[in-house]
Amino acid sequence: MTIQSLSSCVADTYSRFPVTLVRGKGCRVWDDRGKEYLDFAAGIAVCSLGHCHPGVTEAIARQAGTLVHISNLYWTLPQLEVAHLLTENSFADRVFFCNSGAESVEGALKLARRYGHEIRGPDCYEVICLEGSFHGRTLATVAATGQPAFQQGFEPMPSGFIHVPPDSITALKLAAGQRTAAVLIEPVQGEGGVRPVSDEFLLAAREICDRLGALLMFDEVQVGMGRTGTLFAYEQTPVVPDVICLAKALGNGFPIGAMLAKEEVISCLRPGSHASTFGGNPVACAAAKVVIETLTSPGFLDRVKETGTYLKKGLESLAGRHPKAILEVRGRGLIQAIEFRKPVPELANRLMEEGFLVLLGQEKILRLVPPLIVTKAEIDAVLDALENNI
């Protein structure tokens, strides 16, 4: 049987590149013909420590040979250790474990409504989100997503979501009121074209939430876990949220998600109010423990900042040489985007043919999210490839 014949058995919900990848190591992957690719997609910002990181692989194998699953009816040491590491390194007091980014945001949305009901009454249920945002593919997270294209054909959307333009403090103030349970923000919009939200807007959101008794929730599914150069993206902003959502890089490829919150907030979720059968699985937590310990080891995130700055400066230099092709470069740390003046799917294909994996966004945007271990030499290689193909 061939890949082509077997592919007809899989739901056709992805626009896949015609490549079958079979092996990965560090920042590189290889297809079934033995061709090597330099990976600036990292499984969509997931494999931040690189493919088949030895420590993560060893932890997964060891835990898989010890205890794979027992549900959340019992304690496991890996889950408790990861919860301790996450709370020790953040503002949060407790962690709810799940399996994916969408599930972590879904949990945050339920938490916001529950908190609103308990603190301010049943009419407090609305969540203010940003236009251009992306929060996941479940029905509630699609409703929270500020891109109509993701909602088309799935209407009617669940009610209770209001979208305002990013950085429009006036629109945020007009939208906020007694029904506002939470404001949900990606500090850097990932799927929305890598757009950092301004500090002024975040400060305004914090002030409004404090005044109303609403929750400020950050979706850090893509930009958390070291991607921007600090363990969490909120650390580079002037505000501290009440809730953050994590997934993607948390398990370096092994599925795991987490919702973190302050004690006074998450305490409204009592036994039976929310759950996830596989959430905090011991194998996933064994992987996550290695990830967090590596990210917080001395010097690691300093190096991410250094290479992130190197990548951004290289892209800005590229944009300076090609002003007729490139509109803007933007991003933070090792999540950078190049917005072109024309659609660039063909450019992405040419880069792949030359051995570089990149992400497309909204047709005119190339998104670069390499493993956090990427070297300057590897960054130079992708910059040269871009230079030669623009």
Tens of pLDDT, residue by residue over 71-89, are 999 999 999 999 999 999 9
Model pTM score: 0.96
Distance in angstroms (rounded) separating the CA atoms of residues 347 and 118? 52
Distance in angstroms (rounded) separating the CA atoms of residues 198 and 187? 8
pLDDT of residue 3: 79
Cβ atoms of residues 248 and 220 within 8 Å: no
Q: Give the three-class secondary structure for 372.
A: coil
Q: Please state, as a whole number, how many other Cβ atoms lie within 10 Å of the Cβ of residue 355.
A: 16
**pLDDT beneath 50, residues of the chain:** none
- Name residue 199's amino acid: D
Burial 282-310, CB ≥16 within 10 A → b, else e? bbbbbbbbbbbebbeeeebbeebbebbeb
Kindly list the distances between the CA atom of residue 148 and the CA atoms of 128, 138, 151, 152, in Å, as whole numbers in the listed order.
15, 14, 5, 6
CA nearest neighbour of 335 among 146, 195, 201:
195
Write the CB contacts of 19 (distance below 8 Å, at least 6 apart in sequence). Answer: 31, 37, 352
Helical segments of 269-337, H only: 282-295, 300-321
Distance in angstroms (rounded) separating the CA atoms of residues 46 and 351? 21
Residue with tokens 């699953």: 69
Phi, psi of 23 (to 5 degrees): -155, 150
pLDDT of residue 6: 87
The structure tokens listed for 326 are 């490139």
Q: Please state, as a whole number, how many other Cβ atoms lie within 10 Å of the Cβ of residue 8.
A: 7
Residue with tokens 């009617």: 156
Burial 186-196, CB ≥16 within 10 A → b, else e? bbbbbbbbbbb
Beta partners for 128? 162, 183
Helical segments of the chain, H only: 3-7, 42-45, 54-64, 77-88, 101-120, 139-144, 169-175, 199-212, 263-266, 282-295, 300-321, 345-353, 376-389
Phi, psi of 66 (to 5 degrees): -115, -55
pLDDT of residue 191: 87
